[in-house]
Structure 1
Amino acid sequence: MTTPSLADGQLSQDPIIAALSKGEELLWLNPKRRPFAEVRDTLPLSLDDIHAAAARLERFAPYLARAFPETAAAGGIIESPLRRANAAATTLSQWLGAPLPTLWIKCDSHLPVSGSIKARGGFHEVLAYAEELAQVHGLLAGVDDYACFDEPDFRALFREHSVVVGSTGNLGLSIGILSARLGFKVTVHMSADARAWKKALLREKGVQVVEHTSDYSVAVAQGREEALATPRCHFVDDEDSTTLFLGYAVAALRLKQQLDAEGVLVDADHPLVVHLPCGVGGGPGGIAFGLKHVFGDTVHCFFAEPTPSPCMLLGMHTGRHNAISVQDIGLDNRTCADGLAVGRASAFVGKVIEPWLDGIYTVSDDHLYALVALIEESEGLGLEPSAVAGLPGFAYLARHSAPERQAYWQSATHLAWATGGAMVPREEMKAYQAKGRALLASQHHADMN
């Protein structure tokens, strides 16, 4: 079914567009949301596809344990801790002037090897490509232990092939680190928003970094163009890759195990609300897709975007998806949340999530900095600005829901997905936190809409 989109004349009169164009913080509830059971069989991917991605990551666990010793204790399974955040819940509820939530943090900020949510999808995509090449060249005949991917024959094969990606930073890190370790020639096209330390780290790993003065979309376009012109080259398409998407979705299967282990009940009377920072949409979209398959309508998924870069909200609200950018409504796409500095959303992800995503909210840069300081002070967690965008979501729901709905959100378990931070250099993290503390000192509580 074709979704109607707002005409140009309607854009100028639309109150949501007006608020976005002014950089205002707001909560948008998806008017197209339907029960997941009604739409599940119409979606282009399935639970079977998620399980296939999980099986691939398990096959590669022996290789990852050998190639990255920091994963050996977990048997090569790259997973992040789930953390109850009582201190943060108290601090945030006071600062935001909202009821005390039951709050957990999913610490993808501390995933092994590349320290961000991108380790999941990015690693899955690279490993899928490596597996395909090894099969085509007959290197996997009779093999049942993928530790062999660290052997000379495999590295010799991969040296004849290239991997290219465009990134604001964290995806480039995950793709670059793993691809280079396997032996691929790797090029990462980095947007102007990417941090200098991320570029430097990639170069240390032997990755070619191409810097652009433009934003994320240009970096991706240049990467795609280079890949098309290069023989034996694989382009990791952050905007449209189903392989990336499914790698992210595996997180839902593992989260279910973690929640069960912690005794966290998720059902109609005990809903789970997951708050996911959003850039182009692949990471949060994939995770939310997995969560809906695991929990159905007992889970509610909300995306969080910076006020200068609300590309997914803009694309979904207008129905234009990637045919509209934040620059089209007068925003500059410049934000301290470099991993979320995306002006044009993924059309693939936007259309997949359109029938079942609960909503999206925006957070200002000042509040992101303040949240960085608050989470460090309350929980001792060092998170980059992108990673804290989901922390105020419970307060949005408390403030903007109908009275009869507020009790429902209050009964929920709220989970904020922390998407990056462990690899941020100490001095840079201290600067984030210092700016946040200065902002906190100038206000007693958040003046959020």
Structure 2
Amino acid sequence: MKALIGGRTIGEWEREQPLLKDIEAYREVMWLNPNYGKAAADLVSGEDTAEAEARLCRFAPYLAHVFPETAPAGGIIESPIYPAPELKHLLERAFSLTIPGTLMMKADSELPISGSIKARGGIYEVLKTAEQFAIRAGLLTEHDAYTCLADASFHRFFSRYSMAVGSTGNLGLSVGIVGAALGFQTTVHMSADASPWKKALLRQKGAKVKEYEADYSVAVTEGRRQAEQNPNCHFIDDENSKDLFAGYATAGHRLKKQLADAGLSVDKAHPLFVYLPCGVGGGPAGVAFGLKQAFGESVHVFFVEPTHAPCFLLGLMTGLHNHVSVRDFGLDNRTAADGLAVARPSAFAGKAAGHLISGCMTIAEDRLFQFLKALKDTENHWVEPSAAAGIYGPLMLLSDRCGKAYLRQHHLEGTLASATHLFWATGGGMVPQKNREAEYALASRLHVSD
């Protein structure tokens, strides 16, 4: 007898959720969230986001001093937005589809220090932890100039403590680079999906890397277990961290200012559609929370996952969150999008922001590379395969029957000409050039098609 999933057989789930058969067959799908807009658990607040923003401002002088790439922005870790008109034209031609409105790219691939969306949350939690340790020891107050944290005395102080994280790659880079720079004994537990170059870079930066033959969930579980044995170790839990979430959420009001500076309005007559690649869900859920704080009902957020690893979709669809795995439904969790190679979603993210997400989409492996190449060819931006997933967003929204239904249900059809479609390019800034060229060469053997 096959194991039950949340007390039900696969057949029972398939009868309740017919879309599951397409998901099990690795077909691209779009799913609308029936809980969108409903009340949810009060796990995080706007005050948490405001606190995160204030703390990042306190640390800005330190970051500008230690990481010169942040100096032009005064130590603030933020990424630019770019218009993508040529990419839009290519997609319209390739898919025989008109994309009304403006297509924009949020280039978290260019976030300083670690080159991915994980810089928002991962670096923030490292900084918060360092601040707490230093204040508790009487070495720092919130009114001090935080450049003092770069002194050798603080490096020696932080070396008494450990920092650990489980990661498929990008969160590990963010935590490992900044944790080691501060002086923490930093360990990154890496899954089998993590790229070798990310492991090598972490070791170069002074972090310890523990490798696992298993997937992300095992790396996190083992990292958490080992950290619990050390009272001086802080474990950054990608599956259940309010601090990571708050760091990600600071993106909302920052994006609001960026769009306004670019002359792009966001209101009922000018909707904003945002497409976020999704792995365990913490990063995109935190961003979604921040976006809803900034734009309210005028923003519509969709998550995009690989067809081989749609864990967040399954978590929301079944309501089981972290109690369901993609393997329960026969999926293999194997994808070139290493940051999205997650079999089981974050319960915290699903419960804190599941009601803010309009829906989820899945994307086939080939398309990740097709869109990576298309972005480079048209707008000259490099991203890693996982970061290209969001490019599929407007195409699915405008062509899939569920997307068309969503536009009708929310009375958006008449506003599309004045809409902004923004795909969140979540990483790729630190990918070695030889890896970029290999990914481009693979993409060159494929063709963007509908």
Aligned to 1:25: 28
Deviation string for 1:91-132 (max 9, x for gaps)?
112222321241000000011111101111001000000000
Instruction: Give the Cα–Cα distance (whole angstroms) in 1 for the partners of residues 220 and 37 of structure 2.
Output: 32
Amino acid in structure 1 at the alignment position of 2:18: P
Aligned to 1:78: 77
Contact between 1:397 and 1:409, CA under 8 Å: does it hold in 2? Answer: no
Contact between 1:397 and 1:406, CA under 8 Å: does it hold in 2? Answer: no
Displacement after TM superposition at 1:144 (Å):
2.3
Contact between 2:99 and 2:395, CA under 8 Å: does it hold in 1? Answer: no
Instruction: Give the Cα–Cα distance (whole angstroms) in 2 for the partners of residues 359 and 98 of structure 1.
Output: 21
Aligned to 1:436: 443
Amino acid in structure 2 at the alignment position of 1:30: N
Aligned to 2:350: 350
1:120-199 alignment, distance < 5 Å? 120-141=120-141, 143-199=143-199
Contact between 2:285 and 2:354, CA under 8 Å: does it hold in 1? Answer: no
Aligned to 1:286: 286
Displacement after TM superposition at 1:7 (Å):
2.9
Number of residues paired by the alignment?
A: 436
Aligned to 1:301: 301
| Matched position secondary structure for 2:445 | helix
| Matched position secondary structure for 2:250 | helix
Aligned to 1:7: 8
Aligned to 2:87: 88
Instruction: Give the Cα–Cα distance (whole angstroms) in 2 for the partners of residues 92 and 326 of structure 1.
Output: 30
Aligned to 2:312: 312
Displacement after TM superposition at 1:260 (Å):
1.1
Displacement after TM superposition at 1:268 (Å):
0.4
Instruction: Give the Cα–Cα distance (whole angstroms) in 1 for the partners of residues 334 and 388 of structure 2.
Output: 17
Contact between 2:99 and 2:398, CA under 8 Å: does it hold in 1? Answer: no
Runs (5+) with no aligned partner, structure 1: none
Instruction: Give the Cα–Cα distance (whole angstroms) in 1 for the partners of residues 417 and 8 of structure 2.
Output: 38
CA 1:27–1:206: 2 relative to 1, 3 Å: same
1:35-434 alignment, distance < 5 Å? 39=39, 43-101=42-100, 102-141=102-141, 143-399=143-399, 400=401, 401-402=404-405, 404=408, 405-434=412-441
TM-score calculated relative to the size of structure 1: 0.94
| Matched position secondary structure for 2:202 | helix
Contact between 1:301 and 1:357, CA under 8 Å: does it hold in 2? Answer: yes
Amino acid in structure 2 at the alignment position of 1:267: D
Deviation beyond 3 Å, 4+ runs, structure 1: 402-411
Instruction: Give the Cα–Cα distance (whole angstroms) in 1 for the partners of residues 33 and 293 of structure 2.
Output: 19
Instruction: Give the Cα–Cα distance (whole angstroms) in 2 for the partners of residues 74 and 228 of structure 1.
Output: 37
| Matched position secondary structure for 1:210 | strand
Identity fraction in percent: 51
| Matched position secondary structure for 2:391 | coil
Deviation string for 1:176-202 (max 9, x for gaps)?
000000000010000000000000000
Runs (5+) with no aligned partner, structure 2: 1-5
Displacement after TM superposition at 1:422 (Å):
1.4
